[in-house]
Amino acid sequence: MYFVKTPEFIKWFYPSLIWDIPVTGNTLFITFDDGPDENVTPLALDLLETYNARATFFCVGEKAEKQPGLLNRIKNNGHAIGNHSFNHIKGKKTKSKDYFKNIEEAGLILNTVLFRPPYGSIRNTQIKQLRKDYKIVMWSVLTGDFDPKISREKVLRRSIRYTKKGSIIVFHDNNKFKDKMLYALKGFLQHFSELNYNFNPIIADGL
């Protein structure tokens, strides 16, 4: 089970995490998890470029290490990079010492102060320690592009439905979810572009 729109009580329970970003204008923050993927990330980058959109890519360290050219393309296109651990591990199922080491290993490759816990799985004690060095970015809208039980049309519909100014939206540049993600991303970009929204990367200094 997962929430498409993050409930207010969860935000209240974890107030030190970043769930959305206060804005004055029509601005959204598209994010990607699980990449970079040579079969998906370039296509996502092409779509973003078509709509003059900038996003934030929370990268898995071991994947980024194998795709340095793709990582550079993400940066050179004006997008932000975030840390998504080295092996995409769950914080709540990992000893904190090992969890921090895994994140640190990814950090040597990604060089960023933005972090998103894989699966959103993290303990309060881990949050307290990581906040010394990282801005922990969660989300307002989880599109569900990873969900095999729903259609790509539904992914698009509900990603649009629950998005508002300042929302942080999660897509996955993962080959397992390629069709759904790209379909929903294109429709999402088209819809909000027609409404004169801007798509910005997450800047750590502004958090």
- Domain membership of residue 168 (yes or no) is yes
Q: What is the number of domains present in the chain? A: 1
pLDDT-based confidence at residue 206 (cuts at 50, 70, 90)? confident
Positions marked catalytic = 33, 172
Percent of the chain scoring above 70 in pLDDT: 100
CATH assignment of the domain containing 142? 3.20.20.370
- Domain membership of residue 1 (yes or no) is no
- Domain membership of residue 167 (yes or no) is yes
Instruction: Return d(Cα 90, Cα 137) in angstroms, integer.
Output: 15
Average pLDDT (70-77) is 97
Average pLDDT (118-122) is 96
- Domain membership of residue 34 (yes or no) is yes
Residue 166's alpha-carbon distances to 47, 102, 194, 198, in angstroms, are 21, 30, 17, 10
What six digits make up the tokens of 161?
Answer: 């439905």
| Residue numbers of the domain that contains 60 | 8-206
Q: At what angle do helices 68-76 and 41-50 cross, to 10 degrees?
A: 10
Average pLDDT (135-156) is 97
- Domain membership of residue 72 (yes or no) is yes
- Domain membership of residue 40 (yes or no) is yes
- Domain membership of residue 57 (yes or no) is yes
pLDDT-based confidence at residue 178 (cuts at 50, 70, 90)? very high
pTM for the model stands at 0.97
pLDDT of residue 11: 95
pLDDT of residue 1: 77
